[in-house]
């Protein structure tokens, strides 16, 4: 069995666009006719440039190889160009291709991917979701409205979710970390207070931030939010400053979570050694693929650290997250787009779902999804934006800030 063919789908997400501007899905084919799907979560270059990277990684390191040889193919990609160091673009390309190889292996053996990763550990996987505007909400006002946030949170909890996430603390700008404005601290406090009042102790609150603060700024914000007992404080400082994240983790009585922008065990290992996070959030379409994240999970066990695989992408990465989550003992929960996503679900034939706040790992071979290529081709991405983009304007200390969670499309 050898890898032979590659097709790349760049899918534009229809409004409201939860999951990003577009998704990059790859299909691998073996010489014997088996197909597998994977997803690339790497957005530092545009989709056409990413097509070229994916094609090069496949042609150079994977074409003609047995898909069983995941470790060998990873080492080729990781070491390419005489580097042997994390690279989010190359490893993002490899991650999606590697997920597709696992899909093929499961189909070849007529077993779900989780069965090839050590078997079933978690037959019911706890899920969480961002709180998104409800149908009757003013979408522009939602992101700074405690009342709307509370209503959306309660609706999610009534669906069975035992954790909900929001990120009202202001923008992530290209300037790096900043001090939060007092308006941002006040708004975040009122948003969390309203959500806590609405849901009581029925669910955890997850405080989402995106690397936007200095250590001192993150500590100020975190200290003010401790009274609401969030389950985590997500990426409070820029992801490349591990020492700063450790400083925040030591100073704030909220568990720090990080990982969506990190890649490979090299970067996650540095976080663990520094004591910088209690919860790791790898994105399987960027971090190195399923096997690499399985290693990261094993490392995290030694440090008493749990995993909450990140998802702000399409349903193929979601499927990979579910199989990884099913197989590891130190799982906390996985991220989901609501109860599955209005565009996510039809793209995979409704083969996965969130029911009563939990996901049941599929029993079908491979990733257990039925990817709809016709639907994918009907939604080509024609824009110029990246999957997600940072804000150029600095934090507004005069008028306050409104960060649109998830960068929705109009």
Task: Compute the distance between CA of residue 57 and CA of residue 37 in angstroms, rounded to an integer.
Answer: 16
Q: What integer is the mean pLDDT of 103-125?
A: 98
Say whether pLDDT at 410 is over 80: no
Question: Residue with structure tokens 């790096």?
Answer: 176
- Output the average pLDDT for the chain: 96
Task: State pLDDT tens for residues 222-251.
Answer: 999 999 999 999 999 999 999 999 999 999
Beta carbons of 204 and 162 less than 8 angstroms apart: yes
- Which residue from 307, 308, 268 is spatially nearest to 287, judged by alpha carbons? 268
- Residue 407 pLDDT grade (very low, low, confident, very high; cuts 50, 70, 90): low
Say whether pLDDT at 370 is over 70: yes
Task: Compute the distance between CA of residue 100 and CA of residue 105 in angstroms, rounded to an integer.
Answer: 9
Task: Compute the distance between CA of residue 369 and CA of residue 36 in angstroms, rounded to an integer.
Answer: 10
Task: State pLDDT tens for residues 24-58.
Answer: 999 999 999 999 999 999 879 999 999 999 999 99
DSSP category for residue 213:
B
Q: What integer is the mean pLDDT of 360-370?
A: 98
Beta carbons of 277 and 259 less than 8 angstroms apart: yes
- Residue 390 pLDDT grade (very low, low, confident, very high; cuts 50, 70, 90): confident
Question: What percent of the chain is predicted at pLDDT more than 90?
Answer: 93
Task: State pLDDT tens for residues 170-199.
Answer: 998 998 899 999 999 999 999 999 999 999
Q: Dig out the tokens for 28 from the structure.
A: 């691998």
The residue ranking higher by pLDDT, 406 or 96, is 96
Task: State pLDDT tens for residues 298-308.
Answer: 999 999 999 99
pLDDT at 406: 65
Q: Which residues contact 398 (CB under 8 A, 6 or more apart)?
A: none
pLDDT at 388: 87
Q: Dig out the tokens for 194 from the structure.
A: 């309203």
Which residue ranges make up each domain of the chain? 116-365
Beta carbons of 306 and 300 less than 8 angstroms apart: yes
- Which residue from 39, 46, 35 is spatially nearest to 24, judged by alpha carbons? 39
CA-CA-CA-CA dihedral for 10, 12, 17, 23, to nearest 10: 0
Q: What integer is the mean pLDDT of 369-379?
A: 98
- Residue 389 pLDDT grade (very low, low, confident, very high; cuts 50, 70, 90): confident
Say whether pLDDT at 65 is over 90: yes
Neighbours of 338 (CB within 10 A): 19
Q: What integer is the mean pLDDT of 280-286?
A: 98
CATH of span 116-365: 3.20.20.120
Say whether pLDDT at 166 is over 70: yes
- Residue 403 pLDDT grade (very low, low, confident, very high; cuts 50, 70, 90): confident
Say whether pLDDT at 405 is over 90: no
Task: Compute the distance between CA of residue 98 and CA of residue 54 in angstroms, rounded to an integer.
Answer: 11
Q: Is 125 helix (H, G, I), strand (E, B) or coil?
A: strand
- Residue 313 pLDDT grade (very low, low, confident, very high; cuts 50, 70, 90): very high
Alpha carbons within 13 A on the beta-carbon side of 119: 0
């Amino acid at each position: 069995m050898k890898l032979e063919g590659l097709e790349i789908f760049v899918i534009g997400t229809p409004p409201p666009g939860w999951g990003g501007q577009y998704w990059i899905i790859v299909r691998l084919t073996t010489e014997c006719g088996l197909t597998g799907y994977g997803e690339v979560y790497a957005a530092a270059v545009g989709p056409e440039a990413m097509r070229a990277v994916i094609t090069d990684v496949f042609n150079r390191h994977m074409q003609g190889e047995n898909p069983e040889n995941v470790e060998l193919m990873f080492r080729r990609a990781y070491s390419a160009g005489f580097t042997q160091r994390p690279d989010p673009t190359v490893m993002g390309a490899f991650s999606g291709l590697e997920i597709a190889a696992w899909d093929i292996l499961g189909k070849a053996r007529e077993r779900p991917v989780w069965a090839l990763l050590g078997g079933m550990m978690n037959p019911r996987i706890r899920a969480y979701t961002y709180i998104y505007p409800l149908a009757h909400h003013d979408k522009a006002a939602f992101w700074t409205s405690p009342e709307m946030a509370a209503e959306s949170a309660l609706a999610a909890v009534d669906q069975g979710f035992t954790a909900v996430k929001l990120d009202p603390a202001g923008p992530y700008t290209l300037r790096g970390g900043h001090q939060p404005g007092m308006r941002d601290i006040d708004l975040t406090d009122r948003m969390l207070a309203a959500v806590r009042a609405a849901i009581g102790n029925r669910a955890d609150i997850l405080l989402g931030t995106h690397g936007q603060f200095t250590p001192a700024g993150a500590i100020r914000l975190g200290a003010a939010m401790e009274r609401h007992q969030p389950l985590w404080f997500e990426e409070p400082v820029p992801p490349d400053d591990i020492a700063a994240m450790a400083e925040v983790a030591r100073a704030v009585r909220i568990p720090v979570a990080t990982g969506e922008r990190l890649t490979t065990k090299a970067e996650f290992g540095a976080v663990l050694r520094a004591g910088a996070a209690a919860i790791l959030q790898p994105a399987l379409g960027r971090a190195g693929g399923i096997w690499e994240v399985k290693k990261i999970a094993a490392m995290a066990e030694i440090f008493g650290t749990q995993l909450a695989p990140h998802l702000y992408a399409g349903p193929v990465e979601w499927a990979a997250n579910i199989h990884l989550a099913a197989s590891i003992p130190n799982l906390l929960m996985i991220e989901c787009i609501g109860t599955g996503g209005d565009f996510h679900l039809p793209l995979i034939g409704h083969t996965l779902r969130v029911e009563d706040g939990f996901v049941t790992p599929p029993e079908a071979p491979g990733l257990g999804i039925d990817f709809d290529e016709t639907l994918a081709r009907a939604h080509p991405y024609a824009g110029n934006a990246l999957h997600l983009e940072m804000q150029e304007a600095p934090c507004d200390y005069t008028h306050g800030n409104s960060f649109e969670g998830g960068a929705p499309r109009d």
